[in-house]
Amino acid sequence: MFGYYLELALRSLRCNKVLTALMVLAIGLGIGASMTMITVLHVMTADPLPGRSVQLFYPQIDPHDMVGYAKNKAPPDQLTWIDAMNLLHARRAVRQVAMTAGQVVVQPTQGSSRAFFASARYTSADFFTMFEVPFAYGSGWTAADDARQARVVVIARDLADKLYGADHAVGKSLRLGKDVFRVVGVIDPWQPVPRFYDLTQGSYAKVEQVFMPLETAMALKQPTEGNFMCWGDQALNNKDMERASCTWIQFWAQLDTPAQVASYRDYLVHYSQEQKALGRFQRPPNVRLHDLMAWLDVNHVVPSSVQLQTLLALGFMLVCLVNTVALLLVKFLRRGAELGIRRAMGASKRSVFAQLLFEAFLVGLAGGVVGLLLTLSGLWIVRQQPVPYAGYAHLDSVMLGATVVLSLCATLLAALFPAWRACRLQPATVLKIQ
Amino acid sequence: MHPIISALKHHKTAVILMVLEIALTCAIVSNAIFIIGDRLAAMHVQTGVADNELVWARSSGLDQGASAASATSRAQADLAALRTMPGVTSAVMVNSLPLSNMNSWGACVQHRPGHTKDQVCNVIFYAGTQGTVKTLGIKLVQGRDFLPQEYVNYFPFDNMQAPPAVMVTRSLANRLWPGKDPLGQPLFLGDKAGDVTHVVGVVGHLVNPSINKYNGVERNLLLPVTAAAVRGGMYALRTAPGARDATLRDLPKVLDGVDSRRIITERHSYAQTVKDYFHDDRALIWLLLLVIGCLLALSALGVVGLSSFWVQQRTHQIGIRRAIGATRRDIMLYFQTENFLIVSGGIALGSLCAVVLNLFLMKHYELPRLPLSYLPIGALVLWALGQLAVLGPALRAAAVPPVVATRSV
């Protein structure tokens, strides 16, 4: 039966090559356009740390004065230095990390190579274990190193390669600005997408090249690059960031069980009350504790231009589908006579229906292949764009399968109605007209 | 027309599908054309400076401990060296450039010190060293250029004495002193009486470092400052028309000659900067053009497919009509009218969808309202497309000989 349907379908498709090509092209175009955008969206909304993301939480507290106070307004996106240090040293979570962005001047020691800027992350010790950062050599530093402001750094593999050769970077000294540090670890290429841990610098920013203990960086006045939000009356060139009324520290807490989450939330409320009692805070306790994926949601990491383009692609796909329905209807009804004869000679409605759907299946398969090629070229075009997420627009196996499945489903769906109409034709009438 | 409509009633499904396809195409195409028009208008902006003769660069010293004084003296040494480059007519330091998207300073300005009621906020401050107006090619429509003694060390966010003179764009002047002569008007750059400055010139056009809804397009003023005040700024070089690319190429060598302990973080021709600023808009326009092209092609193919089918199905009837006296023109006209009716139905539904789609886009993506004048454009495009697509099948129908009527199969 299968072979027979295949033969019939191929014969029919060959019989009107132009119409067949039009249908394949229409489906291919629709699939190509929508899958390109869906893939981009899929990459941009992916879980950056699968498995671990459910245990990572981003606490927010509200240290502002009463100016501009409104009930239920979200607290600032970052913490002040004092609050970050208090939360860090309280150690109420399984692990916790406080951090900010910086930019360091790397002064190569050998040869005459010139100094250059490298992006840096000033962070406390738990960063590497919490976020499962892969180490090529050595390891991160310890909380004790944080406390005594040890001059240690972890560097990215490409920087280590550039400076010493990655395999013997550990133990070497590295001059950053005017200070000398000891390299304790080299990390393998690592890029969570979106770069969840600090969304203030763009959701798809690159992971930094140098990691340094936060307290060391502040003590040595290494230059920060982060986003500052300040309030109240103060000169803008306030150099004392550790006491200023500014939020600029990102903070993450690892909480493994729902009970831990609940008790951490209580702790944040309790902390806010305590600070209010001390006179530091003025507002009533206003805390948030989002998990990683919710935090991405709150921050709208997907740019609206991408959403708009996805919408456009879906609209385009819809037109392609309507077009396919119309063309299939034409194609099936045109063959009324042939179907009438098959029916008259004993084929059941069901087998005629199956035959027509099989034909549509072949069209969908071909459309899927065309769509796949168009998706690949569409993604290539996206990668050529100077947008921060460009480099991540690749087709993975899931999306590859999805492309073909979507194409088949769409075509079969489009074929249901025309096939049903074609089956309903009365064999006698069709034959008589002819 | 009546027989055509009653004939269409026999093909309800196919007609509905066609109308639906045309309607969706109409809705998307109208909005896409509108967005393209909107973007093109945004891109067609006069920067107010000499786009093709400017080169700019930013350099960052590596000495973190360097004092402000030494940074200033180095900036002056840099400028002196840059001015000696062949083809460079002048060089200045500015905090930002139109459409550079960089280091933009914004604040509120007041008519009277401390009066926040009638202040104008989100005003962009341009600050430039001596010769900025000539170097950038800013055109004054009123007043004079700054005098050498008016350049002072002033950083807007540091409680410093304001410069004695300021230039405003005509658009800011109209906002601050509607109907009055802006020349000589006092303007307060802060809350205190000491923050006063006076307007000495009005600039015809000068676009902000970036165009956005907070700062508008040209809401800015220009302050005369010394190199020490231009924090995080850039060197802007005016070149002779042919010397731009050579200047751009040799610039790092010249700066390194002054002091090599630096990183040149930016180095561009200004024309490229403007081009880069509109990159996203250009990409969007190409994308929309591609989508419009594909949609129109698809709809045309749908029309061709369906019309061909109807022609084939009606061969017999066409033969009969020809046999009883209809001319070829009549037959052609029949199919053309039929197509016109279907496309018109699609356009009617599509115009409605276009407005709904636009309302949705306005709500979620901050697009302006679709002017209704865009709907006839979409309609004309689709009518033309429909007639073009139906031409082939209609000609084939017209070619059916009357003798077909006498054949039974």
Contact between B129 and B92 under an 8 Å Cβ cutoff? The reply is yes
The answer as to whether A249 is a domain residue is: yes
Say how many CB pairs under 8 Å bridge A and B.
102
Q: What one-character-per-residue DSSP string does A255-274 give?
A: --SHHHHHHHHHHHHHHHHH
Nearest-neighbour CA in chain A from B201: distance (Å): 30
A226 and A79 inside one domain? yes
A268 and A310 inside one domain? no
* Per-window interface: B 342-401 vs A, CB < 8 A: 361, 364-366
Cα separation, B241 vs B87, whole angstroms: 8
The answer as to whether A170 is a domain residue is: yes
Establish if A370 touches chain B: CB-CB under 8 angstroms: no
Find the mean pLDDT for residues A36-57: 89
Q: Residue A398's pLDDT band (boundaries 50, 70, 90)? A: confident
Which chain B residues are Cβ-neighbours of A15 within 8 angstroms?
Answer: none
Closest-approach residue (CA) in chain A for B294: A29
User: Best interface-test mutation with B: which of A330, A335, A374, A421 has the largest number of B CBs within 10 A?
Assistant: A330
The answer as to whether A53 is a domain residue is: no
CA A61 distance to own-chain centroid: 26
The answer as to whether A294 is a domain residue is: no
- E strand segments, B193-260: 196-203, 220-224, 234-239
Those residues whose C-beta lies under 8 Å from the C-beta of residue B350, and which sit 6 or more positions away, are B22, B23, B24, B25, B26, B27, B30, B378, B382
3-state secondary structure of A42: helix
CA-wise closest residue to B208 among B80, B102, B323: B102
The answer as to whether A293 is a domain residue is: no
Using one digit for the tens of pLDDT, what is the confidence trace for B175-188? 999 999 999 999 99
φ, ψ for residue A175, nearest 5 deg: -95, 120
A23 and A69 inside one domain? no
Q: Check CB contact under 8 Å for B291 and A223.
A: no
A196 and A308 inside one domain? no
Q: Check CB contact under 8 Å for B279 and A33.
A: no
Nearest to B62 among A115, A309, A322 (CB): A115
Establish if B213 touches chain A: CB-CB under 8 angstroms: no
User: What residues are paired with B128 via a beta bridge?
Assistant: B94, B224
Per DSSP, A166 falls in state G
| CA torsion, ordered B66, B69, B71, B76, to nearest 10 deg | -160
Cα separation, B121 vs B314, whole angstroms: 71
Cα separation, A136 vs A186, whole angstroms: 6
What is the ipTM metric for this complex? 0.75
User: Best interface-test mutation with A: which of B12, B22, B64 has the largest number of A CBs within 10 A?
Assistant: B64
| CA torsion, ordered B281, B287, B293, B296, to nearest 10 deg | -100
**Helix ranges (DSSP H) in A170-219:** 214-219
Domain count of chain A?
A: 2
Using one digit for the tens of pLDDT, what is the confidence trace for A299-327? 888 877 788 888 888 888 888 888 888 88
Instruction: Print the domain residue range for A385.
Output: 2-47+302-433
The answer as to whether A136 is a domain residue is: yes
Closest-approach residue (CA) in chain B for A304: B365
A9 and A135 inside one domain? no
State which of A257, A286, A315 marks the end of a domain: A286
φ, ψ for residue B196, nearest 5 deg: -80, 145
**Helix ranges (DSSP H) in B44-67:** none
> Would you give per-residue pLDDT tens digits along chain B (409 residues)?
677 888 888 778 888 988 999 999 999 999 999 989 988 988 888 899 999 999 999 988 766 556 677 878 888 999 999 999 999 999 999 999 999 988 888 888 888 887 777 888 889 999 999 999 999 999 999 999 999 999 999 988 777 889 999 999 999 999 999 999 999 999 998 777 778 999 999 999 999 998 887 788 999 999 999 988 888 889 999 999 889 999 999 999 999 889 888 888 889 999 999 999 998 888 889 888 988 998 898 888 888 888 888 888 888 889 999 999 889 999 999 999 999 999 999 999 999 999 999 999 888 877 888 888 888 888 999 999 999 999 999 999 999 888 887 775 5
